[in-house]
Structure 1
Amino acid sequence: MRQITELEKNKEDSDEKIIASYKIRGFNVKIIRSNGKHYYLPETIFDFDEYTFLFSELVDMLYNMKDRLSNKILKLDELIKTISSIILSRLEKEQSTVDNKDIIVEIFTYKLIKLYKLMPLFYDNTINEIYIDSAKTAIYIDHQFFGRCETTIFLSEEEMQALISRIKLEHPISISYKNPSLKVELLSQYFHLRVAIDFPPLSPNGPTVNIRKIKANPFTLKDLINLGSFPPIIGAYLIETVNQRKNITIIGEPNAGKTTLANAIDLYTPKFWRKIVIEDAIESISQKGLGYKQTVIQVDSFDSNKSNYNKTSEILKLLHRSPDWIYLGEIQTREHTKAMFEALNSGLKGIQTAHSDSFEKLIRRWSNYGVSAEDFLSLEVIIVMERKITNDGKISRVIKEIFEINNKNSNNSSSFYQKIYDKAWKLTQIRESLRTNSILSKRYEQILLKERELQ
């Protein structure tokens, strides 16, 4: 029985209004506001009802060719290309009735591999995150411009299993009672996804899926300024922080914009610096095509003694790789933290991200891990990101605070850091703080010059 969506239930007495419409590859998208909620409604440009016989014929054709398709495990792009070539040869016979063959072929292919309902969500670059709580509930998303949006999309058990099978084929990871989670990438020429799935017993009602979209064209500092994440003078300060090779730690709750900011800052390093990135799911920007000297090391998502490539051991190896700049994604565990401080205390410089909604809480957690006040002196600059959801579902991500480590008071555990930016401060107060209190106060004139460039 088909699930009835909340949008359909409320249609008779709703204040339904189309607030946006646009096209993506193969689909027309409408954003509807109804009863205080935003709904994301994609509609394919192709009418399958007109080609029921053709689709059935293609299914039979591919079934008969299954041996050819199963010779080896194909990555998603390879699978799409292989199936598409088969479909295209068949559609050549339909020249008079089928237009936009390349797009139609992709749509047919996604339908055949049972990922068709997810296709518009994967292809739409204005979607930031996709949430699938279960096969019995509608998918919902975070939209770049409209915030939290409901959809009328439900995955059947078969479609959910098709997604999970595809993820496992891309990355052969063992799922067990002791390890009921995975976090991997899914790549194609049109999208880059970071997929996290929890399985029973961790998720007792069945698998839950969280898909984060990694943008092909990442935000720059100027983009983030225009979005209201921070004022131009703070963007200038961040550039000068990189120029002076200060360690930068970016913290915030999940989906607060930590990686987005880290990627934007990281583009301001000199191109001759040797940069080493350590991540589990790759969210940093590939910079080799931009002329940077970047080495990316991908580690297992969850550290274990049996893991050959875990984050802790790879961080400890950094000293032997002679980096000028390091990028450490998601410092989570006690082991990650101790390895990071060993690297920083050895003189390595770079960007790190970690989960916490306040600097004080982070310090408390790391202190409980056995990190001393003297170790904290290696941090230098700490940026706190904040994520807010308004009553109408809009999502904002801003720099809430910036702290600097104050070496002068290193003997006083309660004052070894100082706040040099707060989002509530007026511009005059921000300027005065940077001019008189910052570790970059001697570079204040350079910061002002860069501020003008960002305005």
Structure 2
Amino acid sequence: MMDATVIVNHCPIGRCESCSDLLQSKCKWLHEETYVTIPKAILFVEAGKGLIHIGGLDGKLPSMPPWKDESWNSISTEECVLRDIDACIDAYRVGSYLSLFLQRANIITYMPLAILGSSLEHALLEDLKKRYRDSIRIDSHERKSLEESVNHAIKLLFRDASCRFPEIGEETLQTVSRLAAHSETVLYPIMPLILDDMVEEIFFDKPNQRIYFDHAEHGRCLSKLTFRNDDLSRISTLLRAESNMHLDSRNPSLKTNLNLLGNRLRVTAIIEPLANDGFSLSLRRLRKSPFSILDLIGNGSLTREVAAALLLAVNNRMNITITGAPGSGKTTLLNALDATTPSKWRKLYIEDTVESRPLENHHQLRLCVDPVDELAGVLSKSKEIVKSLHRSPDYVVLGEIQTMEHSRALFEALAAGLRTIQTCHANSASGLVSRWSINHGISDANLAMMDIVITMDRPNPGSAKRFVKELVEVKRKVSDGIIRFAGLNNLYSAVDSAKSFQWCDNGAFKLAAKEVGTNSHTATYDEILQNLYNLDSGDVLDSFLQNIANHGQLIPKKS
């Protein structure tokens, strides 16, 4: 019996009639008895015909080979692809593309293939591309966004192809129309990556270099994709038009949001003279289905004990900072926690690139300010933080705190009584406090306003593994009638989890319990933890959190 993620089977020219892999008159690769676990994908390769057939993507073994079963996807491709196919470790469909991952030694290479099953379909694609450029595309005085332009092109191409080729199936025409529309965008080389919800961030460091990316399962992956040099100026023009911001020699970096085919991207572009080697581009994808707290527990990002403490903190509107290196999962955790807040809260978001999520039936006011890259910006995050005092929020989500000005505005707001959650770059809670105190000039009295610091870690650059490295509560003391910062209490450390959750009398959690009239929060913490061990679905978690919200604060008041 075999235990493999992907099965690659090379079929002879005579197909089943001349195959030695028949078992009881049926291909052995289609027998469940062949496997320990059913593979994610089965590839039947017909090198003589230049075809790859892929089946089993629905988690079930096909009952028949591809020439007898329409559930397979067939792809007509080049000899070089067929030559490398035995190194395939993963394969799945993304829209009109097949994503292949090939591994040699420790290097994983990505190869996207358009799902075109014959030379006729390839010819139809080229025909639609030419026809779109020559006659279908109609220039309009009304400016369309990239999202609108691509969707409009797909509709026009499908309508044209349906009229001219009524004998071709609708699914084939839709696939070819989408591929033709994608090819007309300046981002066409990375369209399969943009559409893939497993792709986290895409990188293009300089001209004439291949694109690489971070994958949720495979980590850092290489590709043979790149942008042509004449595409780079078009990308710059696109980003300026979409963002209405500068990207030129006086303002050589730009950060903005981009929407494309239902996918939200955070895009950063850098040009000369700042980019010494020329144009650079990175795109961070926001998952269509954001991770929930249960998802993060399931993938090892945090333990149930840490999750229980964070749910307790968030639902008591504690002041929380999530810190860590770039790409360590800070925003992912913030969005997961945001989704657990009571729907009746009025939440104010202040972000320079929008990475928060709209939540059904929640009261959300989301503001987008100018990024620090925009020298001519007039919408300041610091000013909006201060002005939020007059917008009556129950909780403020601040996105990333980047500069000294941001930090000072944050602590001014905390001192005035706002409750906030935000992200910030640092490798530890102590490092963050040192940065605030020494570099940004935040006083001990203001530092005491912070409650919780969570540090995320991604120990191996490019790896898919991210997790909570430490959870720290702020300790406070009163001196001459003034509340002051009294140090940090490490509640959880991934390095030494055996000493976890030794609550401190002057720590944020016990002090919060005393503020609502009880001596301890531990009974509520234990209840949340027990529920997390019993929960097995997001629906049950939502019901549990709603029940908590209906009874007010998590920490029970003294009777």
Q: Residues 475 and 507 of structure 2 are in contact (CA less than 8 Å); yes or no, is this contact kept in structure 1?
A: no
Structure 1 moving runs of 4+ over 6 Å: 13-16, 409-414
TM-superposition CA deviations, 1:8-30 (whole Å, max 9, x none): xx99x999622111111001111
Q: Residues 452 and 508 of structure 2 are in contact (CA less than 8 Å); yes or no, is this contact kept in structure 1?
A: no
Deviates more, 1:218-227 or 1:168-177: 168-177
AA at the equivalent of 2:458: R
TM-superposition CA deviations, 1:60-97 (whole Å, max 9, x none): 5544466x434122112210122222212220111324
Structure-2 residue corresponding to 1:172: 244
Query: Structure 1 regions of 5+ residues with no counterpart?
Result: 1-9
Q: Distance in 1 between matches of 2:250 and 2:239?
A: 19
Corresponding residue SS for 1:100:
helix
Structure-2 residue corresponding to 1:278: 350
Shift of 1:443: 1.5
1:338 to 388, 408, 414: 408
Q: CA 1:399–1:450 in 2, change beyond 3 Å: closer, same or farther? A: same
Structure-2 residue corresponding to 1:116: 188
Structure-2 residue corresponding to 1:397: 466
Deviates more, 1:405-414 or 1:361-370: 405-414
Alignment of 1:193-342 (within 5 A): 193-287=265-359, 290-302=360-372, 306-342=376-412
Corresponding residue SS for 1:357:
coil
Q: Distance in 2 between matches of 1:420 and 1:20?
A: 39
Q: Residues 128 and 157 of structure 2 are in contact (CA less than 8 Å); yes or no, is this contact kept in structure 1?
A: no
1:358 to 408, 428, 437: 428
Q: Residues 445 and 485 of structure 2 are in contact (CA less than 8 Å); yes or no, is this contact kept in structure 1?
A: no
Q: Residues 243 and 256 of structure 2 are in contact (CA less than 8 Å); yes or no, is this contact kept in structure 1?
A: yes
TM-superposition CA deviations, 1:187-214 (whole Å, max 9, x none): 1343111101111111021111111011
1:35 to 91, 105, 118: 105
> Greater relative contact order: 1 or 2 (C-alpha under 8 angstroms, separation 6 or more)?
1
Shift of 1:412: 11
Structure-2 residue corresponding to 1:408: 477
- For the pair 1:454 / 2:532, whether they are aligned, the reply is yes
Q: CA 1:405–1:135 in 2, change beyond 3 Å: closer, same or farther? A: same
Q: Distance in 2 between matches of 1:108 and 1:61?
A: 8
Percent identity of equivalent pairs:
29
Corresponding residue SS for 1:28:
strand
Q: Residues 407 and 416 of structure 1 are in contact (CA less than 8 Å); yes or no, is this contact kept in structure 2?
A: yes
RMSD between aligned alpha carbons?
2.6
Q: Residues 255 and 269 of structure 2 are in contact (CA less than 8 Å); yes or no, is this contact kept in structure 1?
A: yes
Q: Residues 28 and 43 of structure 1 are in contact (CA less than 8 Å); yes or no, is this contact kept in structure 2?
A: yes
Q: CA 1:52–1:332 in 2, change beyond 3 Å: closer, same or farther? A: same
Q: Distance in 2 between matches of 1:348 and 1:364?
A: 23
Shift of 1:103: 2.7
Corresponding residue SS for 2:278:
coil
Shift of 1:437: 7.5
Q: Distance in 1 between matches of 2:426 and 2:262?
A: 32
Q: Distance in 2 between matches of 1:248 and 1:414?
A: 15
TM-superposition CA deviations, 1:78-131 (whole Å, max 9, x none): 101222222122201113246432232111001122432211000000001101
Shift of 1:360: 2.4
Q: Residues 201 and 285 of structure 2 are in contact (CA less than 8 Å); yes or no, is this contact kept in structure 1?
A: yes
Query: Structure 2 regions of 5+ residues with no counterpart?
Result: 1-79, 511-519, 534-559
Shift of 1:242: 1.3
Q: Distance in 2 between matches of 1:208 and 1:369?
A: 30
Q: Distance in 2 between matches of 1:183 and 1:325?
A: 26
Q: Residues 236 and 247 of structure 2 are in contact (CA less than 8 Å); yes or no, is this contact kept in structure 1?
A: no
Structure-1 residue corresponding to 2:539: none
Q: Residues 14 and 34 of structure 1 are in contact (CA less than 8 Å); yes or no, is this contact kept in structure 2?
A: no
Deviates more, 1:298-307 or 1:34-43: 298-307
Q: Residues 388 and 395 of structure 1 are in contact (CA less than 8 Å); yes or no, is this contact kept in structure 2?
A: no
Q: Distance in 2 between matches of 1:54 and 1:208?
A: 30
Q: Distance in 1 between matches of 2:465 and 2:495?
A: 15
AA at the equivalent of 1:452: Q
Structure-1 residue corresponding to 2:200: 128
Q: Distance in 1 between matches of 2:295 and 2:442?
A: 36
Q: Distance in 1 between matches of 2:142 and 2:485?
A: 59
Q: Distance in 2 between matches of 1:26 and 1:110?
A: 10
The structure that has the greater radius of gyration is 2
Q: Distance in 1 between matches of 2:128 and 2:467?
A: 52
Scaled by the length of structure 2, the TM-score of the pair is 0.73
Shift of 1:246: 0.8
Deviates more, 1:257-266 or 1:300-309: 300-309
Scaled by the length of structure 1, the TM-score of the pair is 0.89
AA at the equivalent of 1:330: E
Deviates more, 1:293-302 or 1:77-86: 77-86
Q: Residues 408 and 416 of structure 1 are in contact (CA less than 8 Å); yes or no, is this contact kept in structure 2?
A: no
TM-superposition CA deviations, 1:211-244 (whole Å, max 9, x none): 1011121111111111111210110110010122
Q: Distance in 1 between matches of 2:463 and 2:327?
A: 14
Q: Residues 253 and 268 of structure 2 are in contact (CA less than 8 Å); yes or no, is this contact kept in structure 1?
A: yes
Q: Distance in 1 between matches of 2:411 and 2:478?
A: 20
Q: CA 1:15–1:307 in 2, change beyond 3 Å: closer, same or farther? A: closer
Aligned residues: 438
Structure-2 residue corresponding to 1:426: 497
Q: CA 1:444–1:174 in 2, change beyond 3 Å: closer, same or farther? A: same
Shift of 1:434: 4.0
Q: Residues 319 and 450 of structure 2 are in contact (CA less than 8 Å); yes or no, is this contact kept in structure 1?
A: yes
Q: Residues 409 and 416 of structure 1 are in contact (CA less than 8 Å); yes or no, is this contact kept in structure 2?
A: no
